Amino acid sequence: MLRHALAPVLQPAADAVGIPRTLAAGSDGVALTFDDGPHPEGTPAVLDLLARAGYRATFFLIGEQVERRPELAREISRQGHLVAVHGYRHRLQPRLSANQLRADLDRALTTIQDATGASPEHHRPPYGVYSPAGLRLATGSGLKPLLWSRWGKDWRRFTTPGRIAARATRNLGPGDVILLHDADFYSARNSHQRTVDALRLIIAELERLEIGTVVPS
């Protein structure tokens, strides 16, 4: 269980349980990923910035939020972004039984598919923490787990767009996966606003480094 909990932040732990934190070898870009949405303010603002930059991203959606805003989930997919599964509810996997995990995953998949018409292929658990049962269920459902190698820690109450962007782009290179959040449902209030401002800085840094964005395959 300890390895599953450490996997988001320690590459050896992720490797030990077979959970990728980066894109496949040979990738020529970075993956921008957004968790916890869709959000009525954060998601449209993120989509607008991505559209202006011509970037694609991956959105790890929460089923209960998709149910509240199916048209926004549909818009994410319509604009060419990848929709992925973050769960139906935002709960820590080790606290749930195998039956609870299965019900949550099944409901999330159905909700996202019904709203977007797309079949998600990738999965990331809330907080980036898999339980052994949760990992087996995700892979057994044909989903590809993906964590992250760079994060802005944008959910924090006392942070700034500059700090978020600097942390997310430190030593950045092709193959990295950046974790951000387009919603504040499960984090500090209005944190999505700082994320949007940070995204402007991240996009500028990607352009300076001449690194494009890709979605995981």
Residue pair 38/65 in contact (Cβ under 8 Å)? The answer is yes
**Which residue among 86, 123, 181, 192 is the active-site one?**
181
CA distance 87 to 93: 10
Phi, psi of 180 (to 5 degrees): -135, 175
CA dihedral (59, 75, 212, 121) positive or negative: positive
Rounded alpha-carbon distances, angstroms, from residue 32 to 50, 168, 199: 10, 10, 10
Residues comprising the chain, all counted: 217
**Which residue among 4, 35, 86, 192 is the active-site one?**
35
In terms of Cα–Cα distance, which of 142, 91, 147, 93 is closest to 120?
A: 142
Residue pair 198/168 in contact (Cβ under 8 Å)? The answer is yes
Q: Does the annotation mark 39 as catalytic?
A: no
User: Hey, what's the torsion of the CAs at 144, 168, 213, 110, to 10 degrees?
Assistant: 40
Residue pair 176/22 in contact (Cβ under 8 Å)? The answer is yes
Q: 76 CB contacts (<8 Å, ≥6 apart)?
A: 37, 38, 43, 47, 59, 61, 83, 116
Q: Does the annotation mark 197 as catalytic?
A: no
**Which residues are tagged catalytic?**
35, 181
